[in-house]
Structures are given as structure tokens and as C-alpha cells.
Amino acid sequence: MEVGIFDHLDRGTVPLDEFYETRLKLMEAYDRHGVHAYYVAEHHSTPLGLAPAPSVFLSAIIQRTKRLRVGTMVYVLPLHHPLRIAEEIAMLDQMSRGRVELGFGRGSVSMELNYYGVDAAKARDIHQESQDVVMLAMTEKVVNYAGKYHNFSDVPVEIDTFQKPHPPLWYGVHSLESAEKAARAGMNIVCNEPSEASKAYIDVFRRVWREVHGPDAPMARIGITQTVVVGDTDEAALASARRAYLIWHESFHYLWKRHGKTAPISGGEHDFDSLCKRGKGVAGSPEKVSAFMRKRLLDSGANYPIVRFGFGDLTLAESVRSVELFMGKVVPGLADLDARDAAISAMPRRAAVG
């Protein structure tokens, strides 16, 4: 079973130069132990996200790894000029020789958009236009586009992507409607909810996927996220997770608290034990984590676990040990679950969704 990694690149307790170097060494461990892909979030003016320029960090990763695929969850398109970000994506895909995967979004934190002069109320429409332009720039030789926020006439495209027609696309699913849209567009999806809620979205996605692409078409990657710490004992892993999660939680809520607001998005669990009770995290021995992952995948219907291994003040040694135990002892025991979707294709169709 293939495994993906999600990372906010949230601030720990060490100087920034050491923080980045430690994270890059963790990327090397992902590559060494056979992780399929790494996805970084984009955030601004917050300790939640210290990769405000995702392309810069991904560029460093591809120089330190050989096989690890890299991508975004997500590029916040209202904060980027669409032609400019399309060029960055094409450069990354060429330099990595086709290891790039892409998630696009409108931005989940309104304050971050407002800091950059973007009206959060208009972000959805700006995002959709920007994504339309990016898709054109990745698949056409000349971009022509007329919209409310973007207008381009006869713009030549000099850098194409290595992967054709473009890198695989990802979409975060939080409703039945978005699940159906993603399936029709041929996108891979990721869910960040408890298994029961995720299953409702995934069931719709699977049904529409088969209706649109045919019963024999390879199934997309259906990702589900969880925060995981694996240790030699349950007690050691849980102690690390509890400590580090509190620091991550402070970073997650930093901007909301600064503005006197409550985050309306997933991440409200106030401690690691609460996260575990909701079925979105686990810390323990390989045996405990194996049982959790099997249940999580079976209950949700997902076929692609996406794991958070680095967060808060976890040390490099703690995170690398989690990776070693997860990839070496947990994943082999999940191999039989691949039979549900024996052939998985990450290559999307031409359409795009917003």
C-alpha cells in the first residue's frame, strides 16, 4: 500500500535554519523508506505554515531525494498570479522529471487572504478563474482567457510540464457535492474528517467515478489523513504525541486567536487524546497503529493513507523512528487492502473543479 505525507511545516522550538534542515533530513528519510509522496500546505503570517512559498521548499526537496513525489495541499491560488504559478509548477515538474502532484484551493483562513489585500468573500471566484488559467497554461501552447478577474490574450507558454497532459490533481473533499465534482473531473481526493463522515463522501466519489469513467477504469487515489506517532512502546509514542500536539495546536489557532475568532475548520481538538477519540490520530506501538490504520481504511473506504509524522516539537529522531516503524511494520500488514483497488491511477482527466 502506498503512503502519502501531509505537512503544515509548523514552527517547532528550534531556530529556523535548523528547522528547515531538519525537515529536509526528514524528507530524505521518507525517500529512503519508500514513502510515495509528500504534500505541503501553504499558509502566511502564521507559525502554522513556514513554507509560505511552497515551490521553494519543494525545489529543495527534489534535490535531496530520488523517488519521493512532491506536491501541494494546496497552492492558495488567490494569492498567486496564475501564469506565474503555472510557470513555477512546470519548472518543478521538469526539474524533478515528473514527480510533482498538485492541489489548488481558495485559502481556508480569511485573515491570511486579507493580509495580502484579497477579499476573502471573492476568493472562491478568483480561485476558480485562476485554476482555469493554470490548467490552460499547463495544456496549451498559448493562453487566451476572458474572466472577471483575469484576462489574457495570446500569451505564449514556453515551459511545459514533464507529465502529460499535466501533473496529477488533488481535491480536498468536505461535502457530497464536492465529492461528486471531483469524481467527474477525474481528480484524486483527500478527506480530513472522522471515518464515518469521510465514508459518506467517499461512497459518492466511488459511485460517480464508476458512472463517469466506467466500471473497469482504474480507481483514483482516495486519501484520508491522520496524525501518527509510532514508537517502540505505546507509552513512549503517546508521551511524544501529547507533547508535540499542544505546540501544533497553538500554531493552528494562532491567527484565529489573534483576531478574536474561533476556527470554523477541522483542527479544533484541544489535545491529542481528543483527536484520537474522534478517530483522526493514533500514537503507539506498531501493533496498535496497525489496528488503527486497518480500521480507518476499512471504515472510510479510502485506499491511500496520508499521514502527519512531523509536527510541533517532535525531534528528527522521533519522526524518523515513526517512519521506520510505520513503513517497516505497519504498511506490510495492510497490503491485502490494495485488492479493493488493484490498479490505482493518479493521472487526472482534463477537467478541473472549483
Predicted confidence at residue 164, as pLDDT, reads: 96
Q: What is the pTM of this model?
A: 0.94
CA distance 327 to 309: 12
For the chain, which residues score pLDDT lower than 70?
265-268, 338-340, 342-354
Predicted confidence at residue 63, as pLDDT, reads: 97
Predicted confidence at residue 342, as pLDDT, reads: 53
CA distance 78 to 72: 15
Over residues 183-196, the pLDDT tens digits come to 999 999 999 999 99
Sign of CA dihedral 83, 84, 85, 91: positive
Predicted confidence at residue 52, as pLDDT, reads: 97
Predicted confidence at residue 352, as pLDDT, reads: 39
Over residues 124-138, the pLDDT tens digits come to 999 999 999 999 999
Q: What would the DSSP string read from start to end of 109-160?
A: -HHHHHHTT--GGGHHHHHHHHHHHHHHHHH-SEEEEE-SS-EEEEEE----
What are the residue ranges spanned by the domains of the chain? 4-73+168-341
What's the CATH class of domain 4-73+168-341? alpha beta
Residue with cell 491560488: 77
Question: 171-176 contacts: CB < 8 A, separation 24 or more?
Answer: 171/103, 171/353, 172/73, 172/74, 172/103, 172/105, 173/201, 173/205, 174/201, 175/201, 176/200, 176/201, 176/204
